[in-house]
Chains A and B, each alone.
Chain A
Amino acid sequence: EPEVTQTPSHQVTQMGQEVILRCVPISNHLYFYWYRQILGQKVEFLVSFYNNEISEKSEIFDDQFSVERPDGSNFTLKIRSTKLEDSAMYFCASSDPVGGRTSRNTGELFFGEGSRLTVL
């Protein structure tokens, strides 16, 4: 069964360092997302990406964050200068609302297993 894969599974970094989290969405999906979940808290939307550009972003997604789809398969989230409060689990998701591969047109999100970021 197709799945979203994320690397690394866990990254520890020093405050102020740059971090890149990588995701390979499900092939032929059209929409890509990043969500984060601080330990013990709810899943929060960061950004959505469609047709090689950001379609929507939250207040959390400030100038320190950026996303890129450098080739036909990878989707990355970069945090330019990490802060302590960036420590969280970051989930990549993709969806296929026009039906395509799944032909269900439900807009369901397919999540990866997450990348745990620890900022010291």
Chain B
Amino acid sequence: SQKIEQNSEALNIQEGKTATLTCNYTNYSPAYLQWYRQDPGRGPVFLLLIRENEKEKRKERLKVTFDTTLKQSLFHITASQPADSATYLCALANTNAGKSTFGDGTTLTVKP
């Protein structure tokens, strides 16, 4: 069955450092991989999407890589700030209109 693993339930880093979150998947060949941010008690908020034929995507301090051979995506937040503290979710989809399958999430805490 399809499985998505986001390494590290929790990640603690110092302000200003780069946070790197990992999303690994098995038994799946997604066409799209998305990253969302979720704050406690709130709905997920879309951050970035990367397609299977793309290696890397950037948006401001965020960078996503997608390696379909390793079946892995890395999500980087550079120059991290305490306001970046949240749970980050990886989600995979076969089409841009079909269901998305979410990982468990990684809770990032950025300490001042």
Contacts and interface: CB of A to CB of B under 8 A. Distances in A.
Interface residues of B, number: 25
A75 interface: no
Interface in B15-60: 32, 34, 36, 38, 41-46, 49
A91 B97 contact: no
Contacts of B96: 95, 97, 105-107
Interface residues of A, number: 29
A106 B98 CA distance: 12
Contacts of A114: 41-43
A33 B98 CA distance: 9
Interface of A: 4, 30-31, 33, 35, 41-45, 48, 50, 55-56, 58, 91, 93, 95, 97, 105-114
Interface of B: 32, 34, 36, 38, 41-46, 49, 89, 91, 93, 95-105
